[in-house]
A and B are shown apart, each in its own frame.
Chain A
Amino acid sequence: MNLKIDDKLVEAEEGMTILQAARRARIDIPTLCYDERLAPYGACRLCTVEITRDNRTRLVASCVYPVEDGLVVKTDSERVRKIRRMILELLLPLSPTGPLESLAQKYGLERSRFTAEPTACVLCGLCVRYCAEIKKANAIGFIGRGIEREVAFLPEVAPYVCSSCRECFALCPSGKVVSENPDGTWVPPLAWQRR
């Protein structure tokens, strides 16, 4: 099937997402929680794009929206940029340095008007999902909900599987999982110790 992304005619197969189709056509859409090895999650919403079908325009998360024939997609409209800028502005206080910082600059954001506890974790869930989906270990998970949500290692599992794996360290966009281990030895991360 064919769709039009940013005025470019793009071919895609049934079952693909807009993000996959765009990336294959070398059109860049920013993401934080996306990893092609994992099931799409749709949480960071940075990949929001504007789609038009039957004269109806909607904003959708491109990482989870399945392609449709004849779909017209705008990945970088003013409306889309505004949403991304606000998402980044909200996340920046949590993780002021690292990849978020350069992404924020790209969207013309110099500093955030918001303050929050700089936990470094943006709750993208890459570590959680990688551990569950690829490693099938479930050693790390989410606890709490709403603004209390955080990531924590499971004390019943982590001590037995984590030190020999550590594969999630490299996944973390803000280096949170790694930063817990300054001397290179794996210690239970903060969220676990607190309990």
Chain B
Amino acid sequence: MPRLSSATDLERLRQEILAERDPNKPCVTICSGTGCHAYGSEKVAEAFAKEIQRNGLREKVDIRRTGCHGFCERGTLVVVFPEETCYLRVRPEDVPEIVSRTLIQKETVDRLLYVDGEGKKVVHEGEIPFYKHQRRIVFGNNRLIDPKSIEDYIALGGYTALAKALLEMTPEQVLDEVKKANLRGRGGGGFPAGIKWETTRNAPGEAKYVIVNADEGDPGAYMDRSLLEGNPHSVLEGLIIGAYAIGSHQGFVYVRQEYPLAVENLNIALEQVREYGLLGTNILGSGFDFDIEVHRGAGAFVSGESSALMTAIEGRAGEPRPKYVRTAISGVWERPSNLNNVETWANVPLIINRGAEWFTSIGTARSKGTKIFSLVGKVNNTGLVEVPMGTTLRDIVYDIGGGIPGGKRFKAVQTGGPSGGCIPESLLDLPVDFDELTKVGSMMGSGGMIVMDEDTCMVDVARYFVNFLAGESCGKCVPCREGLRQMLNILNNICTGKGKEGDMELLEEISEMMTDASLCALGTTAANPVLSTIKYFKDEYEAHIKEKRCPAGVCKELITYYILPDRCQGCLICARNCPTGAITGGKGLVHVIDQEKCTKCGTCLEVCPARFNAVVKLSGEPVPPSVASGTKVVRRK
């Protein structure tokens, strides 16, 4: 591989790569991101290779395994270029048809296309509503790139921002551009990256570090993972540019051990940039030296907190430390250390190439650019979504997410990871940016977005997140550790019918102290799930505490299953499916649930034929007395 030692070298390489590629040559791209991988994209890719070979098309068709496209709900995603025909839910058995009809006969396989709400079929990926309403400036290249190929990245203009920064700009100019762009940290805090960079740059000391935080641990969030897996070079390019601006010669990527594909693709990418001379000594002939070390996490959520992450890089247990002297001044080994999240770094090449003015034209007054969200939960189109800052929750959940499945009613959307908050329906028109989310008691976090429908119990949600945090806090400071311990106790009590008057006030009292006195951001924000649910769903807490009723019918100790005697047709289906044998009654006789044996798994409710609808879930009311055993059913016509 040639070592690139100037911008001309890079451009020449790009032209060579492009010259070898015929834009009209058919190319099958198979999404191989985490979601599609789970659907079996590997097998689909193998089937394509085999089928293309079998048809003698090996020289005529390219196959590319790309990173995550985002529409994970409908994986495995296959896009056939140059027509950009997008097929959803592709299984290996669909492959021969795609090859013969689309690649050979140039027709579409209609049954694999997206069908919109009016039954119209959509051929091109970009026209699918899920994609149409997005603006994918950071994430968009994922679908065009094989993450294991630096040539793919360079073909799209990769590393031109690095060349521009190193060879045409001074570090001050780079810093200035990022400051002007008002790029705010995508990892949660929303702190302006340019100001952080400047602090590290101006901090005393020769050795300085730049760090990529890829310790994404929020339940349901996987945008950083998909970016690092799908387009690792964009992150590396941003990091090298940042290092140049800051004056750092050593970088770290802290990536969770649980992301094996991200680690693999990252290491491949690092090898490639080193070979090309885009990393190491005298990068692109600029005289700037910089290298990167990969540090794998050991499975602790709290290590995503910046000071804990730095402690972990030093080789100790990831525990936050007081940040009254900022890590930008005293971080890893007490040296100035600038940490940004994966997505933040990936924005940097865009800002350098297209300028701060372009970047600030996207977004709201105080939050610029786009944000990638991981849209999950009770929503039709789960996946990764990139939208300009300021897009409303309603647009994200309905226009992009396609609304709530099963005709259910929207209840809340939880943003910001475990220490975010739950936002109710009345605030759906909230423009999503750093400040607006904080104002309503939630936060941007790293971009997790969990949609909840009417079947979700908000007290149970609060309990879930508090339980998560109680296990994932480092346990060092008293407010966070003991506060979470007691909040969890109280929430467990409320969910099991042992809630008392005053519990809500006590939760608020603990929350206030945790917010005021905890050591790190995990502790100071840990009360958000509790406070926001009390704020917006107080009636649900009251129902649990006063009436011992779970309105959503989720909290097991507060619900009972009951078979309506006048509806039961004695069909035996529920009795046969009950795992504990709690249902008695023979064929044609009214079935009865033995409440002592019932484990409230809900199987009877699920299996009772819809035309009978005889099983109901009761909460907050006594179970009606059982009918005498042997009572005959009332036949319905």
Chain A contacts to B: CB under 8 angstroms: 40, 42-46, 48, 59-61, 64-66, 79, 82-83, 86-87, 90-91, 94, 113-116, 122-123, 125, 142, 144-149
| B485 and A82 contacting across the interface, CB-CB below 8 Å | no
Name the contact of A146 in the complex, choosing from B478, B484, B516 (C-beta under 8 A): B484
* Chain A residues touching B, majority SS: loop
CB distance from B625 to the nearest CB of A (A): 37
Name the contact of A65 in the complex, choosing from B317, B324, B471, B488 (C-beta under 8 A): B324
CB distance from B513 to the nearest CB of A (A): 4
* Chain B positions 474-526 with a Cβ under 8 Å from a chain A Cβ: 474-479, 481-486, 488-489, 506, 509-510, 513, 516-519
| B324 and A64 contacting across the interface, CB-CB below 8 Å | yes
Residues A147 and B510 in contact in the complex (CB < 8 Å), given A45-B518, A66-B324, A87-B517: no
A48 / chain B contacts, CB cutoff of 8 Å:
516-517
> Which of B300, B317, B324, B488 has the most chain A CB within a 10 Å cutoff?
B324
B322 / chain A contacts, CB cutoff of 8 Å:
40, 42, 61, 64-65
Residues A45 and B471 in contact in the complex (CB < 8 Å), given A59-B517, A91-B482, A115-B489: no
| B324 and A43 contacting across the interface, CB-CB below 8 Å | no
A144 / chain B contacts, CB cutoff of 8 Å:
475
A64 / chain B contacts, CB cutoff of 8 Å:
322, 324
CB distance from B505 to the nearest CB of A (A): 11
A–B Cβ pairs within 8 angstroms, 30 of them = A42-B519, A43-B477, A45-B478, A59-B517, A61-B519, A64-B322, A65-B324, A66-B325, A83-B516, A86-B510, A90-B485, A90-B486, A94-B482, A113-B506, A114-B486, A114-B489, A122-B478, A123-B476, A123-B478, A142-B317, A144-B475, A145-B471, A145-B473, A146-B470, A146-B474, A146-B475, A146-B484, A147-B473, A147-B485, A148-B475
| A123 and B481 contacting across the interface, CB-CB below 8 Å | yes
Beyond contacts A83-B516, A125-B476: 7 other A-B pairs, Cβ-Cβ < 8 A, are: A44-B478, A48-B517, A87-B517, A123-B476, A145-B473, A146-B469, A147-B488
| B489 and A148 contacting across the interface, CB-CB below 8 Å | no
Bound CA span A122–B477, Å:
10
CB distance from A11 to the nearest CB of B (A): 20
B291 at the interface (CB under 8 A from A): no
Name the contact of A87 in the complex, choosing from B324, B325, B485, B513 (C-beta under 8 A): B513
Bound CA span A125–B475, Å:
11
| A42 and B321 contacting across the interface, CB-CB below 8 Å | yes
Q: Name the CB-closest residue of B to A115.
A: B489
B-side interface size class? 20 to 34
B302 at the interface (CB under 8 A from A): yes
Contact with A along B302-341 (1 / 0, CB 8 A): 1000000000000001000110110000000000000000
| A90 and B475 contacting across the interface, CB-CB below 8 Å | no
Bound CA span A142–B477, Å:
13
| A42 and B475 contacting across the interface, CB-CB below 8 Å | no
| B482 and A43 contacting across the interface, CB-CB below 8 Å | no
Bound CA span A48–B481, Å:
16
Residues A86 and B481 in contact in the complex (CB < 8 Å), given A43-B476, A147-B471: no
B471 / chain A contacts, CB cutoff of 8 Å:
145-148
Bound CA span A103–B476, Å:
21
B483 / chain A contacts, CB cutoff of 8 Å:
90
Bound CA span A82–B512, Å:
10
Name the contact of A145 in the complex, choosing from B475, B478, B479 (C-beta under 8 A): B475
| B482 and A90 contacting across the interface, CB-CB below 8 Å | yes
| B519 and A43 contacting across the interface, CB-CB below 8 Å | yes
CB distance from B525 to the nearest CB of A (A): 15
| A146 and B517 contacting across the interface, CB-CB below 8 Å | no
Bound CA span A193–B317, Å:
23
B473 / chain A contacts, CB cutoff of 8 Å:
145-147
Q: Name the CB-closest residue of A to B509.
A: A86
B517 / chain A contacts, CB cutoff of 8 Å:
45, 48, 59, 61, 83, 87
Q: Name the CB-closest residue of B to A92.
A: B482
B472 at the interface (CB under 8 A from A): yes
